[in-house]
Amino acid sequence: MRSLSLALPRLAAALLALAAAAPDSRAATQVTLIEPNYGPATGGTLLTVHGSGFTGATGVTIGGVAVGAFQVVDDTKITGTTAGGAAGPQDLTVLGGAGNTTVVAGFTYCGQSSTYAGILFPAGDVSFADVLVKYDPLHGGGPGPTHANFVDPLDALGAPDYPGGNFAEGSVSLGDGGLIELAFNDNLLTNSGDGTHDLHVFEVGSQVEDTFVAIRPADPATLAVVQGLGTDANLDGFFEIGKVFGSTSSIDIDGHFPGQPGGALRFDAVQLVDDPAEGSSTGATVGADIDAVGAIAALTHAMKYGAGCPGTGGFVPDLTLEGCAIPVGNVTLSISAGLGGSTCVLFFGLTQVNLPMVPGCVLLADPQFNVALPMGGPGPGNGTAGFSALVPANAPPVDVYFQAFVVDGGVPFGFSNSNGVKLAIQ
């Protein structure tokens, strides 16, 4: 009996050793798709890794840094949130499961960072609002500004450029109770998923003047979330997120729409309204003086321009391009609202053009190169196509222009075409 009791521990140890030495009967871990395969260098991108052999996986790293909110959904899917890192392509590794596996350059962090007033913008100058939607200095009854250097709303676009001093050019006064709405054309404002600041308003001038801030959802998913958590008091599409208090002021989007993973919410415009109860209500530069509005948590995409012409059913194809416009960065082109089952021809070149072809249809990109793509989807307005590509490692800084044409026998000239898209490779 005593010999048996002594032998059992040795038997157990031997069995454990044999189990450890035996090969894993499961197929090796494989990664087949990473969605998305790019995101801002600040992190916060919702990540889904598809493949097999994920049961028992213990983590995912990008550039050696663990993703947050790691979850093994099932043997074929892992989700998480990127932590952020240096701009450029990074290796993605799945740890554990049926064995570690690495996808070289599997994820790219976007950004050529810039810093203003001590605030880091990882995506660089693309982070700033660049389109004027509306300017109404008499929105609250006025008066409006009268100084010549503070009445041009375009001075609020782009990166901060106010040189300092009194009455210099580079900013716009809102007026007493006045309003300005600025949009992000080549990026989107998003949430970081934590308590850090996501949006920055650069105000100049000697007086500290308060400004109410509201933001506009960019997609139906974001709209559904903010409708449940926030308020659109004026029913104008902008949801209020509080007030900034002069100089360089910051707002955390997650504080107003809590519980959302980083990158889950997308906004395409900001509304600023001067608080008439704060600051002077008279003077040549009355109201808050706005120099710039920047998204610290930014999703970059290419700039749209021009307009397309419709195909069967009156549907106009829509061309979008998102990704990291840096060498070895990932970019994704998507065409939607075309004729399903047809063929799309994507033209691209290094020159933007504006050449009328047939009534209502304009060539917007120099067709130096082209690629044909099948349009999936059933019928008019449901056709989609797209592809992803890497920017060449030796690509110089250059602008590339794209436009899509869809073969469509249901319209007089046999085709419809999309808007143009400009991709600025940094």
CA distance 309 to 419: 8
Q: Enumerate the domain spans of the chain.
A: 9-110, 114-300, 303-425
Residue 246: its pLDDT value, please?
Answer: 62
Tokens describing residue 137: 């200095």
Q: Are 83 and 65 in contact (CB under 8 A)?
A: yes
Q: Quick one: average pLDDT of 411-415?
A: 92
Quick one: which H or E segment has residue 217? strand 210-217
| Band of pLDDT at residue 74, cut at 50, 70 and 90 | very high
DSSP 326: S
Q: Quick one: average pLDDT of 247-273?
A: 88
Does the pLDDT value for residue 370 go beyond 80? yes
CA distance 119 to 115: 5
Does the pLDDT value for residue 386 go beyond 60? yes
Q: Which of 152, 409, 138, 73 is nearest to 274 (CA)?
A: 138
Burial 400-423 (b: 16+ CB within 10 A, else e): bbbbbbbbbeebeeebbbbbbbbb
| Band of pLDDT at residue 17, cut at 50, 70 and 90 | very low
Does the pLDDT value for residue 100 go beyond 60? yes
- The label of the residue with tokens 């934590």 reads 194
User: Please, what CATH class does the domain formed by 9-110 belong to?
Assistant: mainly beta
Does the pLDDT value for residue 207 go beyond 60? yes
Cross-strand bridge partners of residue 248: 202
- Sorted by sequence, the CB contacts under 8 Å of residue 400 that are 6+ apart come out as 348, 349, 350, 422, 423, 425
Return the top range by mean pLDDT from 88-92, 161-165, 237-241.
Answer: 237-241
- The label of the residue with tokens 């840096």 reads 326
Question: According to the 3-state scheme, what is the secondary structure of 164-208?
Answer: CCCCCCCCEECCCCCEEEEECCCEEEECCCCCCCCEEEEEECCCC
Q: Are 165 and 332 in contact (CB under 8 A)?
A: no
pLDDT digits (tens, 9 = 90+) for 105-133: 888 887 667 888 888 887 778 889 999 99
The domain covering 303-425 belongs, at the CATH homologous superfamily level, to: Beta-1,3-glucan-recognition protein, N-terminal domain (2.60.40.2140)
Q: How do strand 266-274 and strand 179-183 relate by DSSP bridges?
A: antiparallel
As a whole number, the mean pLDDT across the chain is: 85
Q: 9-110 with 303-425: one CATH topology?
A: yes
* Model pTM above 0.85: no
Does the pLDDT value for residue 43 go beyond 60? yes
Percent of the chain with pLDDT over 70: 88
pLDDT digits (tens, 9 = 90+) for 273-326: 999 988 788 889 899 999 999 998 776 656 788 999 999 999 999 998 877 776
